Amino acid sequence: MGGGQTSSLKVTLAFVVDEMWEFYPNLASAEGLHNYDGRMPDLSEDAWRARASQVRAGIAQLEPFDRRDVEGTLSMDLALTRAALRKELFKIEGLRSRAWNPMDMLFSIDVSNYVIRRYAPPAVRAAALTRALGRVPEVVEQMSDGLRGRVSRPILETSIEAYAGMADFYRTDLADAIGPLGAEALAAALAGAVESAARAVDGFVEILRSRLEEAPEEFALGAYSFRTLLSLGEMVDTPLESLLAEGERDLRRNLESFRRLAEQIGPGRPLADVLKEIGKDHPTKASLVSDTRAMLEEIRSFCIERDVVTVPSEDRCEVKETPRFMRWAFAAMDDAGVYETNATEAYYYVTPPEDDWPADKQEEWLTSFSYPLLKGISVHEAYPGHFTHHLHTRNIESKLGEVFGAYTFWEGWAHYTEEMMVEQGFAADDSRVRLGVLLEALLRDCRYICAIRMHTMGMTLDEATRFFMENAFIEELPARKEATRGTFDPMYLSYTLGKLQIKRLREEYRARLGDGFSLKAFHDRALSFGAPPIPLLREAMARHGSVNAQ
């Protein structure tokens, strides 16, 4: 491709992406494009139709370009953008999730980026937040008008909880989180916008509740839609029967290892007793943050000393208590947006028990932060999982690898690192850590298997709940929540799917290079492309001479 064609492709890609940000301005703001601050999406049916036409036009504009003629990262950018547009068009016109899955639209009224990141003075952020909140009543009305399908009961119940939580977040957290405003009139305007937005969301919750009596239990996407989402989002076209068989093999492998290791830790003892004993070794409420921070340094040092992966910065993620409005999360990494240049800090949130909980409930909560389990969680969230991935993406040539990143890479990489670190000798002297890593693997295996069975093979919510209880060794309530998540997040099979894909790619890399194989070099190369679907990553690495293309 000549210079003129290359320039033309760059201009076309930029135009298509800018159109996307115009339609989803709140997402652009969250990614650090602050010229979109204060704006919210138009979710009317006319706007969706116009967006669908725009997406089709974008696909047509990219059609003349041949990836074989493109140099450098442009080839991947072209593939990623085409796939993203096709997936978006399918979701708008084919899946129409806005009509039956309120959880898929929750992002439309999320304004947390204005309070989490201090990218501008409080008064500037407060003014933008006030404008954004002022649009929430109209957005909520459009969401209600668009809810034309029959919402299944499990999705409906989860949506009621989620939107009620959003209204509570507006009322109880926003004003405090934004900090001193410095202007009484601005404070009054924000308070008014907060209450108006919260009332609008209250009304939407009541609309959702009114549907409960007639809500069907059915939620399955069906094989066609499930396969299409996999194909467009993750570039996976493997037959579902083959995918399921692979997941079942991984579950059996992990179950065998788990039971064998549990027997070594507690010979002859019931599994529940072994897990309960491990849970007793945990931080106190007061030491949770400091203990986690110290643990991160230990894990980071291991990665560097064992040449597991390059840690490309001296920057650390800040370990903090989870903000009140995010306390649905047990532990989470919050990285800066793709384009953020001011507030580039990353936060590793851990959620302590609430002060008003009785002592026995606080103790029960802290058992989930037992030191053996917390090490595995911290590998996933920080080193060499999400945070290390984030540090690498700061240096990539093109940001589209992140903008259009794949679920299988984001979560597949972080999940892959848990098993990989154990293979490299992490926590070799503590079998409890290895047991915790296996416990997490079993949970992700269950998500993988249940996602396929629930959406394409008729598995019920009750059957999925029992499957989690029997194979991930969790109690009924969390098992039910895990199964319910699969009803509105069918691609949550991506944790295990991505892990398995990365492991296969690594072995191809190893076979290709023989004695010249370096685990660190493989990881660094894989992280140098952002977060593309693994098949596209494999192709990109082959183009760089790393793995034979087939």
Residues 9 and 96 in one domain: yes
Residues 465 and 345 in one domain: yes
Give me the mean pLDDT over the 337-350 stretch.
92
For residue 519, tell me if it sits in a domain.
no
Share of residues in the chain with pLDDT > 90 (%): 79
Residues 96 and 236 in one domain: no
Is 354's pLDDT higher than 90?
A: no
Q: Is the dihedral of CA 197, 202, 206, 208 positive or negative?
A: positive
Report d(CA 385, CA 437) in Å as an integer. Answer: 13
Burial of 418 (C-beta count, 10 Å sphere; 0-12/13-18/19+): buried
Mean residue pLDDT across the chain: 92
In the chain, the largest separation of any two C-alpha atoms, in whole Å, equals: 72
Q: What is the pLDDT of residues 141-189, one digit of tens each?
A: 999 999 988 899 999 999 999 999 999 999 988 877 766 655 567 888 8
Which of 218, 240, 275 is the C-terminal boundary of a domain? Answer: 218
Bridge-based pairing state of the strands 318-321 and 331-334: unpaired
Give me the mean pLDDT over the 254-280 stretch.
94
> Which pLDDT belongs to residue 175?
72
Find all residues with CB under 8 Å of 246, minimum gap 6, and list them. 500
**pTM for this entry:** 0.94
Which of 498, 527, 542 is the C-terminal boundary of a domain? Answer: 498
Domain count, the chain: 2
For residue 534, tell me if it sits in a domain.
no
Residues 377 and 234 in one domain: yes
Residues 198 and 288 in one domain: no
Is 545's pLDDT higher than 60?
A: no
Which of 201, 218, 235 is the C-terminal boundary of a domain? Answer: 218
Helix axes 371-381, 407-423, angle to 10 degrees: 130
Residues 211 and 265 in one domain: no
Report d(CA 348, CA 333) in Å as an integer. Answer: 5
Report d(CA 383, CA 38) in Å as an integer. Answer: 34
Residues 258 and 209 in one domain: no
For residue 513, tell me if it sits in a domain.
no
Burial of 297 (C-beta count, 10 Å sphere; 0-12/13-18/19+): exposed
Residues 156 and 207 in one domain: yes
Residues 126 and 231 in one domain: no
Domain extent, residue 61, equals 3-218
> Which pLDDT belongs to residue 325?
63
Residues 246 and 380 in one domain: yes
Residues 168 and 309 in one domain: no
